[in-house]
Amino acid sequence: MVSVKCPVCGGEVQLPDDVIAGEIVEHDCGVTLEVIVDDNNTVKVKPFEGVSEDWGE
């Protein structure tokens, strides 16, 4: 289990160890979060804006 901090409410967000970037999770406070993994393999979350990003085809 990986735990990160919710950027909205500051509370703890529990993620599975095998979480992948781009995964969408909902936090207890009601916000929808997108999982991101930075270059150091650090898992973070950011508020999901609800737009599907174009990754290129």
Provide the binding-site residues for Zn ion, judged by CB under 5 A: 6, 8-9, 11, 27, 29
Tell the burial category of 37 from Cβ atoms under 10 Å away from its Cβ (0-12, 13-18, 19+).
middle
CB of 2 to Zn ion, least distance (A): 16
- Residue number with CB closer to Zn ion (23 or 40): 23
- Tokens read off for 52: 């599907």
Q: How far apart are CA 55 and CA 14, in angstroms?
A: 27
Nearest residue (CB) to Zn ion, 20 versus 29: 29
- Closest approach of Cβ 40 to Zn ion, in Å? 23
